[in-house]
Amino acid sequence: MNLFSITKETLESDKPKDECAIFGIYNCEDAANFTYLGLYSQQHRGQESSGIVSSDGVHLYRYAGMGLVSNIFTESKMSELQGRNAIGHNRYSTTGASFLRNAQPLRVESHLGPISLAHNGNLVNSWDLRNRMEREGSIFQTTIDSEVIVHLMAKCKEENILDALGLALREIKGAYSLLILTPRYLIAVRDPNGFRPLVMGKRTDGSVVFASETCAFDITDTNYIRDVEPGEMVVVDHTGLKSYYPFQEAKPSLCIFEYIYFARPDSYIFNESVYKVRKQLGKQLARELPVEADVVIPVPDSANIAALGYSEESGIPYENGLIRSHYIGRTFIEPDQKIRDFGAKIKYNVVREVVDGKRVVIVDDSIMRGTTSRKIIKMLRLAGAKEVHMRISAPPTVSPCYYGIDIPTHKELIAATHTLDEIKKYLRVESIAYLTVDSMHKAVAEHKGGGFCDACFTANYPVEFGSQDQGNQKSLFQEYAVEES
C-alpha cells in the first residue's frame, strides 16, 4: 500500500520554528544530571537534537543524539558524563542541516586544549569567514555556523583562551548567546546587541548556573541573579566569577519575538516576566481592535496568555475552544486523503460546545503562511461558529529573520505578499486585525524600555550582513575585568 507521511514539521509550517536552548553549570556534584533537567525544561526551544558535555577538570566527556532529551540520555549514558561542570544544548537548525554531526555542544582539540561550545543564535557572516578559512586550509567537521568560532580560536596565536575567544568573537557578526566549557573554565557570552536571552543564577550549594530561560532555574532549584548583559563575558573558575566587557558597545536589539512566541510564559527573560508582557499584548489588542463577540479563544499554546489579556480587557468570556494534542509523532495515511484537513485535525480539535452558534474571536500570536490558520477557521465553521474574527497579538510578519529564528522567506509570508483584505478573504473570516509596530512596542514598553529587534515586522535589520573588518585587539582580559561576589 502506498503511504505518505505527515510530520511534526508539516503541522508546524504556519509558525516560526523554534530556536535553540543552552544550559550550563559549574561546581556541582551532579552537573550532568542538572544539565539534563535544564535541557528538559527548555525542550520547547529545539527538538532536533540534544547534547551534554561535562568536565572533571582534566577531560571533557560528550554525548549527543537526535530527538528529544528524554529519549537520548539513558542512565548508562548519563553515568559516562563525569565531573562537576557541564554544558548542554537543544537544537533547532537555523544554519546547518539536521544531522547528528551538527548536534551541539561541539567538542574540539586545539593548542588551547579541549574546548566545547554551545550556541543559541545565528551568525550573519559565518559563510564569509568559513570560505576564507577553508581557503587557508581549515577543515570543518560540521555545516553549522558555530564551528566558525572554535576555528577562529584555534587559529589564534594567543595562548590565553580568554584572549583567543575575545579575538574570535571580534570577527563574527550576528546573534550569539554562548556557553564554552574547558577543563578550567565555564564561560558565558552574549553578543553586543543582546539578541538572544541568557540568564545567570546560583544554587544553594554554590554552583553557578546559566540558561536561555529561567524556567530551567525552577526545575533545578536555582536562584535567579540577573541576565548576562549584552556584550558581557562571564568567566567562572575555581577562583570565583569575573565579568568582562571586551567588545565595542552596540545598540541593544533584544528579540521581541521571544516575548511574543518563543519563551515559555513562566520564564523571565530580558529582566521581565514573559507572562506579563504577553498578557499586556493581548490587552493592547483589545483596546485598539475591539469587536462584538460572544467568546474569546486562543490558538494553543503560545497564544493562550494573549487571549486571556484580550478577554480581560474586552470583557468577552475566555474559553478553551481548541484543544491541542501534545503527542504528535509521525502519522501515516492513505494518499486519497479521505479525512479532510487531517494535518490540522491531528494537532487541534474544536470544542463544539464553546463555539456552536457563537461569534468567536480567535487570538493568535503570529501568522506565517496562513495555511494552518485557514484550516482551523474551517474547523470552527464546521463546529457551528456563527462569526469568526481573527486577532493577532503582533504586527504582520513581513521579513525573514537572520538572527536565529527560522521564519519563512519573504515570498512565503502571507502578510508580505497580500493585503489585509486578501488575507481576510483567504482565511474566510469576518474580520482580521494585527497590532501595529508602535502598539507592540507600547505594550512591551510598559514592562521594559526600548532596544528591541523588530526586523521580522519592519525589515529594519540592526546588524548588516557581510564580512566584518578586523581590528587590532590585544590583551582584552587584562583591562576589563570586574570582580563579582
141, 95: one domain: yes
Q: How many domains does the chain have?
A: 2
Average pLDDT over residues 95-116: 83
302, 237: one domain: no
Question: Quick check: 334 pLDDT over 50?
Answer: no
Helix axis angle for 161-171 and 147-155, nearest 10°, is 120
| Cβ–Cβ < 8 Å for 447, 278 | no
Question: Quick check: 450 pLDDT over 80?
Answer: no
- Lowest mean pLDDT segment, chosen from 146-150, 214-218, 278-282: 146-150
Half-sphere exposure of 294 (CA within 13 A, CB side): 13
Average pLDDT over residues 200-206: 97
The residue that leads in pLDDT, 367 or 18, is 367
Give the span between the Cα atoms of 260 and 444, in whole angstroms.
10
- Average predicted confidence (pLDDT) for the chain: 88
195, 236: one domain: yes
34, 148: one domain: yes
Question: Quick check: 11 pLDDT over 80?
Answer: no
| 249 in any annotated domain | yes
Whose CA is closest to 63, among 35, 96, 43? 35
212, 355: one domain: no
443, 475: one domain: no
Could you tell me which residues come within 8 angstroms of residue 126 by beta carbon, excluding any fewer than 6 positions away? 95, 145, 148, 172, 174
| Cβ–Cβ < 8 Å for 475, 163 | yes
226, 333: one domain: no
Peptide bond into 221 cis (omega under 30): no
Share of the chain above pLDDT 70, in %: 86
323, 395: one domain: yes
| Cβ–Cβ < 8 Å for 188, 233 | yes
Average pLDDT over residues 44-49: 92
CB 394: neighbour CB atoms within 10 A? 28
Parent domain of 103: 13-253+465-484
| 333 in any annotated domain | yes
Q: What is the pLDDT of residue 114?
A: 95
Question: Quick check: 340 pLDDT over 70?
Answer: no
DSSP strand pairing (268-269 vs 21-26) = unpaired
290, 208: one domain: no
The CATH number given to whatever domain includes residue 95 is: 3.60.20.10
Give the span between the Cα atoms of 20 and 317, in whole angstroms.
35
pLDDT range class, residue 343, cuts 50, 70, 90: low
| 269 in any annotated domain | no
Could you tell me which residues come within 8 angstroms of residue 74 by beta carbon, excluding any fewer than 6 positions away? none
142, 182: one domain: yes
Among 88-92, 125-129, 430-434, the range of highest mean pLDDT? 430-434
Q: What is the pLDDT of residue 17?
A: 55
| 459 in any annotated domain | no
DSSP strand pairing (431-434 vs 331-333) = unpaired
- Lowest mean pLDDT segment, chosen from 40-54, 146-160, 171-185: 146-160
Cα distances (angstroms) measured from residue 260 to each of 44, 257, 463: 14, 5, 21
Displacement of CA 375 from its chain's centroid (Å): 26
pLDDT range class, residue 328, cuts 50, 70, 90: low
Average pLDDT over residues 163-171: 93
SS in 3 state form for the chain? CCCEEECHHHHCCCCCECCCEEEEEECCCCHHHHHHHHHHHCHHHCCCEEEEEEECCCCEEEEEEECCHHHHCCHHHHHCCCCCEEEEEEECCCCCCCCHHHCCCEEECCCCCCEEEEEEEEECCHHHHHHHHHHCCCCCCCCCCCHHHHHHHHHCCCCCHHHHHHHHHHHCCEEEEEEEECCCCEEEEECCCCCCCCEEEECCCCCEEEECCCHHHHHCCCEEEEECCCCCEEEEECCEEEEECCCCCCCCCEECHHHHHHCCCCCEECCEEHHHHHHHHHHHHHHHCCCCCCEEEECCCCCHHHHHHHHHHHCCCECCCEEECCCCCCEEECCCCCCCCHHHHHHEEECHHHHCCCEEEEEECCCCCCHHHHHHHHHHHHCCCCEEEEEECCCCCCCCCCCCCECCCHHHCHHHHCCHHHHHHHHCCCEEEECCHHHHHHHHHCCCCCCEECHHHHCCCCCCCCCCCCCCCCCHHHHCCEEEC
Q: What is the pLDDT of residues 54-85, one digit of tens each?
A: 999 999 999 999 999 999 999 999 999 999 99
Give the span between the Cα atoms of 100 and 327, in whole angstroms.
23
211, 294: one domain: no
| 79 in any annotated domain | yes
The residue that leads in pLDDT, 353 or 94, is 353
Question: Quick check: 357 pLDDT over 60?
Answer: yes
Q: What is the pLDDT of residues 218-260, one digit of tens each?
A: 999 999 999 999 999 999 999 999 999 999 899 999 999 999 9
Q: What is the pLDDT of residue 10?
A: 43
Average pLDDT over residues 46-59: 95
The residue that leads in pLDDT, 3 or 131, is 131
Which of the residues are catalytic? 20
167, 287: one domain: no
Average pLDDT over residues 327-350: 61
Cα distances (angstroms) measured from residue 480 to each of 162, 187, 217, 236: 12, 15, 29, 15
The CATH number given to whatever domain includes residue 403 is: 3.40.50.2020
**154 is written with which cell numbers?**
584555534
The residue that leads in pLDDT, 265 or 479, is 265
